[in-house]
Structure formats: C-alpha cells, structure tokens
C-alpha cells in the first residue's frame, strides 16, 4: 500500500475525560465534519450484545474492533475535501495496546505509517477538574494521565507535531482549534 496523506484530516487525541468529545461536539455545531470516538461506540455495542470485546474483558479484541472502525472511518472520508476532525485516530489504538503491554500488531503499524492525518495533531492535556467516570470510562485520573502520555509518545514517534489545547472553555477551545488548523 502506498502512503496516503490527508492534510485535511485532523486528529484530537489525549487521555480520556479531557474534553475531546465536548470540543468536537462544539466544532460540529459550528459546521465542521466530525468523526466520533470509536471507543465509546465499540463499548456501547459490546455491552448491548453482551460481547467480549471490552477493554476490561479482552483488550486485544477491543483494540482490533477499534482499529477496524478507525480504518473504515479514514477510508470512508478519503474523498472529503473539507476539514475532517477525528476524535482519536488510528495511532490511538497503538497507544492503547502499549498501555496494556500488548505487542503492536504489524498490520496496525503499517496502516499507521501509510494512512497519514495532517501532521498537526491536537492533544488535550490532563485536566482533573473536568474528569469524570461513566459507564464507558472506568479509568482513574492517574490512568487517564498515563494515556495522555502514551498518546503523546505514539504520535511523536510517528512524526506528528503535537499542539496542546489549552485548559479553557469549550467555546474558547473551539476558537483555538479553528485558528490552529487554519480552516
């Protein structure tokens, strides 16, 4: 497979509960094309069908479903000319595997190398004041911070440039993001 560079694809990453989804909901409200986080979708689907592909039951199976959905999301948006904003990207799955001490799978590495988002990746920093647990988010704040660090490491290793989104209101974060991506 040859490398596919999509400079209009922007990833927002970071630890869980750091405001990514709220930010992208605001961006969607402003007319931007946004792709929802696959993790929540997979967890909700697996709970509904009493499946095993849950992060607390089978991390590898969960990662495979995340990867498949993230790959589908990338490929299904390839023809989009407008900015596409992703609540996490393919490299996030690799970060998840590393966090769980699971060896990175060759097909994931190959796809992360060849399916490229815009080089600028926006990352939400740890923010304890807004962090909450829910049905799909069971990690402690410490685990969320570890996730943030791992995502920063994975994206940096894949030659993405990280830009930290400030700890400000959702509206101000959206304004910041619009200026950062230049659209």
3-state secondary structure of 175: helix
Backbone dihedral angles phi then psi of residue 105, each to the nearest 5 degrees: -85, 135
For the question of whether the overall pTM of this predicted structure is more than 0.85, the answer is yes
**Helix (H), strand (E) counts: the chain:** 7, 7
User: What is the pLDDT at residue 100?
Assistant: 92
Distance CA 157, CA 183 (A): 26
- Reported as a single tens digit per residue, the pLDDT across 15-44 is 888 899 999 999 999 999 999 999 888 999
14: enclosing H helix or E strand: strand 9-14
Give the CATH number for residue 127: 3.40.50.300
- Reported as a single tens digit per residue, the pLDDT across 135-181 is 565 678 888 899 999 999 999 999 999 999 999 999 999 999 999 99
Distance CA 140, CA 22 (A): 19
Could you list the residue range(s) of the whole structural domain that residue 159 is in? Answer: 4-181
Buried b (16+ CB within 10 A) or exposed e, 169-183: ebeebbebbeeebee
Question: What is the number of domains present in the chain?
Answer: 1
Max distance between CA atoms of the chain, in angstroms, equals: 44
């Amino acid at each position: 497979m040859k490398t596919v560079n999509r400079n209009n694809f922007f990833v927002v990453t970071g630890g869980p509960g750091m405001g990514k989804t709220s930010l992208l909901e605001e961006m969607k409200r402003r007319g931007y094309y946004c792709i929802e986080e696959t993790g929540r979708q997979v967890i909700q689907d697996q709970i509904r069908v009493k499946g095993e592909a849950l992060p607390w039951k089978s991390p590898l199976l969960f990662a495979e479903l995340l990867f498949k959905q993230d790959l589908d999301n990338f490929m299904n948006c390839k023809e989009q000319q407008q900015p596409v904003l992703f609540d996490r990207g393919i490299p996030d799955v690799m970060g998840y595997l590393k966090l769980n001490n699971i060896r990175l799978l060759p097909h994931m590495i190959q796809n992360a190398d060849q399916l490229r988002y815009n080089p600028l990746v926006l990352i939400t920093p740890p923010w304890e004041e807004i962090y909450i647990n829910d049905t799909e988010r069971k990690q402690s704040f410490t685990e969320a911070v570890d996730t943030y660090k791992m995502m920063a490491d994975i994206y940096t290793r894949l030659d993405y440039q990280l830009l930290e989104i400030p700890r400000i209101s959702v509206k101000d974060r959206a304004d910041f993001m619009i200026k950062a991506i230049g659209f």
